């Protein structure tokens, strides 16, 4: 009989912990949550104090049997899931489903997976904190209510398969509002003046910038003209000491932001890599909004800094979180052993670990000491303006020896020089060259994943565990895309004064281009507008933030979770009933563009099952309406009547090949050519509206060559089984699934039996759920305009057993 059973959330963590414990301990994984709210129904009984209907996930049934058997055979079961609310809920579900009691089970927590931390946790067990469990249940129930009651309304009013979520809808709103700010922004041109001067030694050249910008070319021209007869002297030299302090150690959100800036990770990628580092015992817990470092970590950092850089580089700091309701864990993200500067692992793991190590070490290092100098240059005939030079010299590098925090600010101060040469007051300078360059005022920047996380955190929306899932969800549901935006080419003017002569140059530049930024889709725009108009309270930033504070109060034991639920439901459900019963004159999201001059029929743009499209005519007319999908560069919000009518010029006959027509059109997956009932994708760089027959012939020819080379082998035993050439090499295709060919196997020599064996031995690839849990079902909602009949008709379920609560001290 096994004395001790330890249950953790992931198998990787189990493997690491098992190494620290003796033979008296067996470590198993729950693979995340073992049960959840019942799918295909509300599962929140609003008429019986919001009782939640939990069921063991179908893919966890066998696992639960295994855990029950192991728990029955053990003398003590140690519930060692993560220390945040989600982890506490997992422990509670295990306690209930496995039929444990306080006598034979203990709850342990740790924020790093090291032997001392695990042994200390076992020496200091506690009871399950039901306040944390209730906070998690409240969040889960509110999110289920919002999704289950609002989504069916979206299906009815806009189109099927749409969904709403409490935090995701607010995140989409932020992105939509920023996009509209950009669209409304009217850039203004101005002229920025810079000059180069020669010092009295006749050799040294210094750069400066005028402290005024001119609105017009004429003003800039007049100013440069005035410089021809001006003399220039040093009016003021201001030198002052300065300092830079290091950034605090990482929280979840700052790690996500900095990993995006410095190493180009997406938010979800950062969390995935950090999870692996944590489970391998290399870093502390990665879902946290605390800036605190343990005394052990501080002492280890001090020792590391002293040994490497000397005592003058040490400045021990204890940072305090500014985030309200910080609760996810008790320490910032840091290496478990500060002496480990590098770790083994994948390239991604090594890069992220290096970032965490450097940030942690730098946070305990001395300030960088600087000397900042500003030199002002007088213009004899223009006392209203000055040329200014700025310089900055590092006197003591301090923490900069290790690390410098990046910023999302895309502007660069070109007037800043690292070091200015010695200069004296009243020295006369000779003008080498002055230039006035036309620039544009900058539009508001689109959100990156990292800057969206920062904004959500500033607004108090979401918590460390929700940022990455929220950003992933809004992209998966096609409300938001992360992509590039082509800029527009525009001419700009530069005036240059040199050798007392002004020359004018006009060049072209691309403005407004964006890369890897978050932009709303038409679906996102339409759904956001509908929710904002009909559910203004739910999408209000303060309301969502206040609800997070309510969850914090529940976690602290200050209020009951059911009271929060009742207050929310009393506000939310009447609005649902009202919106569900309301009628609109036309489909939500439809935009009337005008009248088609040829037919006299109405032209509109709207959202359909397969995306945005333009329509000529209406459904109530005798003649069936015409439809055309919007191309990727068009949006319902900005499309013009002319652009919409142009869509109906497709399909277009490009010409003939061997006496047969070639047509160009746009389908669900983009532009294509049709020839002999075969389809060829029109790649980027070609326009279906103007593509020539010569270009089409070349594309069709290339497609035929690719198809001819694609098939390596087929089998008369089953025509659905093929060996094919793909982008990443040969593979087996069978019944719409692809299978990797093992290394060393020659694809052309595969027999039918060989292929069947490879298919049979291929590993299953279940979809990953939260915290590594697999999920095989997808929750769907049903329209609820009255109090949930699903909840009230369901048979009462035995109340989940609650262990004795850990009381608030």
Parallel, antiparallel, or unpaired for β 76-79 and 105-107?
parallel
Closest CA to 593 of 637, 527, 649: 637
**Structural contact between residues 67 and 26, judged by C-beta atoms closer than 8 angstroms:** no
Whether residue 651 is preceded by a cis peptide bond, meaning omega within 30 degrees of 0, is yes
Task: Give the HSE-up count for residue 565: Cα atoms under 13 Å, Cβ half-sphere.
Answer: 24
> DSSP E strands: which ranges in 368-427?
368-379, 386-396, 416-417
Going from the C-alpha of 530 to that of each of 163, 267, 311, 479, the distances in angstroms are: 12, 28, 61, 13
**Is 285 an annotated catalytic residue?**
yes
Distance from C-alpha of 472 to C-alpha of 19, rounded to nearest angstrom: 34
Closest CA to 115 of 336, 363, 378, 356: 336
CB count, 10 Å around CB of 143? 16
φ, ψ (nearest 5 deg) of residue 299: -65, -40
**Structural contact between residues 664 and 688, judged by C-beta atoms closer than 8 angstroms:** yes
Distance from C-alpha of 551 to C-alpha of 137, rounded to nearest angstrom: 9
Parallel, antiparallel, or unpaired for β 514-520 and 488-498?
unpaired
Residue whose structure tokens are 């033979």? 23
Q: Which of 31, 278, 285, 403 is catalytic?
A: 285
DSSP 798: P
Helices and strands in the chain: count of H runs, count of E runs: 20, 31
- Tallying the residues shown for the chain, one arrives at 809
Residue whose structure tokens are 């049903």? 782
Distance from C-alpha of 480 to C-alpha of 522, rounded to nearest angstrom: 9
Residue 724, strand partner residues:
711, 731
**Structural contact between residues 167 and 470, judged by C-beta atoms closer than 8 angstroms:** yes
**Residue 618, token pair as written in the block:** 């209406």
**Residue 392, token pair as written in the block:** 């900055």
Residue 538 burial (10 A CB sphere; 0-12, 13-18, 19+):
buried
φ, ψ (nearest 5 deg) of residue 243: -150, 155
Question: 776 CB contacts (<8 Å, ≥6 apart)?
Answer: 58, 59, 766, 767
Distance from C-alpha of 137 to C-alpha of 538, rounded to nearest angstrom: 19
Cα end-to-end distance, the chain, whole Å = 37
Question: 355 CB contacts (<8 Å, ≥6 apart)?
Answer: 255, 258, 259, 262, 263
Residue 214, strand partner residues:
191
DSSP 400: G
Distance from C-alpha of 24 to C-alpha of 565, rounded to nearest angstrom: 44
Distance from C-alpha of 692 to C-alpha of 672, rounded to nearest angstrom: 13
Residue 519, strand partner residues:
481
Please give the full DSSP string across 636-656, using - where no structure is assigned.
TTT--HHHHHHHTT-SEEEEE
Question: 749 CB contacts (<8 Å, ≥6 apart)?
Answer: none
**Which H helix or E strand runs over 155?**
helix 130-157
**Structural contact between residues 404 and 417, judged by C-beta atoms closer than 8 angstroms:** no
**Residue 567, token pair as written in the block:** 């207050």
DSSP 445: P
Catalytic residues: 285
């Amino acid at each position: 009989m096994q004395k001790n059973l330890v249950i953790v959330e992931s198998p990787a963590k189990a493997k690491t912990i098992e190494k620290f414990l003796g033979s008296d301990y067996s470590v198993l994984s729950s693979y995340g949550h073992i049960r959840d709210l019942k799918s295909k129904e509300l599962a929140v009984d609003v008429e019986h104090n919001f009782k939640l209907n939990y069921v063991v996930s179908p893919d966890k049934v066998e696992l639960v049997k295994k855990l029950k058997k192991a728990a029955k055979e053990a003398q003590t079961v140690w519930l060692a899931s993560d220390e945040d609310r989600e982890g506490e809920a997992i422990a509670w579900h295990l306690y209930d489903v496995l039929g444990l009691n306080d006598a034979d089970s203990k709850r342990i927590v740790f924020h790093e997976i090291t032997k001392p931390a695990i042994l200390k946790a076992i020496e200091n067990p506690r009871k399950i904190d039901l306040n944390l469990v209730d906070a998690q249940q409240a969040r889960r129930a509110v999110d289920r209510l919002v999704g289950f009651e609002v989504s069916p309304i979206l299906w009815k009013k806009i189109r099927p398969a749409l969904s709403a979520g409490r935090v995701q809808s607010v995140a989409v709103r932020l992105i939509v509002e920023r996009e509209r700010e950009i669209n409304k922004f009217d850039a203004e041109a101005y002229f920025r003046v810079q000059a180069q001067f020669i010092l009295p030694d006749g050799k040294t050249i210094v750069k400066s910038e005028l402290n005024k910008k001119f609105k017009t070319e004429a003003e800039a021209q007049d100013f440069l003209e005035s410089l021809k007869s001006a003399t220039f002297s040093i009016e003021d030299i201001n030198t002052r000491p300065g300092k830079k302090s290091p950034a605090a150690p990482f929280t979840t959100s700052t790690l996500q932001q900095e990993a995006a800036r410095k190493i180009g990770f997406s938010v979800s990628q950062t969390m995935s890599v950090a999870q692996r580092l944590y489970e391998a015992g290399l870093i502390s817990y990665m879902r946290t909004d605390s800036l605190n470092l343990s005394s052990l970590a501080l002492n280890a950092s001090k020792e590391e800094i002293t040994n490497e850089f000397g005592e003058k580089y040490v400045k021990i700091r204890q940072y305090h979180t500014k985030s309200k309701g910080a609760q996810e864990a008790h320490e910032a993200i840091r290496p478990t052993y500060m002496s480990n500067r590098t770790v083994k692992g994948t390239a991604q793991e090594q890069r992220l670990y290096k970032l965490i190590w450097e940030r942690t070490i730098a946070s305990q290092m001395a300030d960088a000491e600087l000397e900042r100098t500003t030199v002002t240059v007088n213009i004899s005939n223009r006392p209203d303006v000055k040329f200014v030079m700025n310089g900055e010299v590092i006197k003591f590098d301090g923490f900069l020896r290790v690390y410098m925090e990046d910023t999302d600010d895309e502007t660069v101060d070109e007037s800043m020089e690292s070091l200015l040469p010695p200069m004296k007051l009243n020295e006369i300078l000779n003008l080498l060259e002055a230039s006035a360059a036309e620039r544009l005022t900058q539009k508001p920047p689109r959100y990156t994943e990292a800057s969206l996380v920062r904004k959500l955190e500033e607004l108090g929306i979401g918590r460390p565990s929700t940022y990455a899932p929220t950003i992933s969800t809004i992209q998966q549901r096609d409300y938001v895309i992360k992509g590039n935006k082509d800029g527009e080419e525009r001419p700009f003017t530069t005036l240059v004064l040199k050798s007392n002569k002004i020359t004018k140059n006009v060049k072209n530049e691309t403005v407004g281009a964006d890369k890897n930024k978050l932009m709303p889709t038409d679906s996102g725009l339409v759904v956001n507008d509908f929710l904002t108009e009909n559910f203004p309270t739910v999408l209000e930033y303060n309301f969502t933030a206040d609800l997070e504070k309510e969850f914090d109060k529940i976690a602290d034991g200050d209020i009951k979770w059911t009271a929060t639920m009742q207050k929310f439901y009393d506000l939310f459900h009447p609005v649902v009933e009202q919106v569900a019963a309301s009628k609109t004159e036309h489909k939500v999201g439809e935009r009337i563009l005008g009248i088609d001059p040829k037919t006299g029929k109405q032209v509109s743009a709207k959202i359909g099952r397969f995306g945005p499209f333009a329509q000529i005519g209406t459904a109530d007319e005798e003649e069936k309406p015409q439809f055309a999908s919007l191309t990727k560069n068009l949006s319902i919000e900005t499309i013009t009547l002319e652009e919409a009518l142009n869509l109906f010029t497709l399909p277009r006959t490009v010409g003939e090949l061997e006496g047969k027509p070639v047509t160009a059109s746009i389908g669900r997956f983009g532009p294509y050519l049709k020839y002999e009932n075969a389809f060829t994708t029109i790649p980027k760089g070609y326009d279906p509206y103007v593509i020539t027959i010569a270009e089409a012939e070349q594309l069709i020819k290339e497609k035929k060559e690719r198809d001819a080379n694609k098939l390596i082998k087929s089998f008369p035993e089953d025509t659905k089984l093929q060996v094919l050439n793909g982008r990443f090499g040969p593979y087996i295709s069978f019944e719409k699934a692809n299978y990797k060919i093992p290394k060393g196997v020659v694809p052309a020599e595969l027999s039918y039996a060989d292929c069947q064996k490879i298919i049979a031995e291929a590993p299953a690839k279940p979809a990953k759920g939260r915290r590594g849990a697999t999920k095989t079902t997808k929750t769907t909602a049903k329209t609820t305009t009255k109090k949930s009949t699903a909840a009230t008709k369901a048979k009462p379920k035995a109340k989940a057993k609650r262990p004795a609560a850990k009381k608030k001290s």
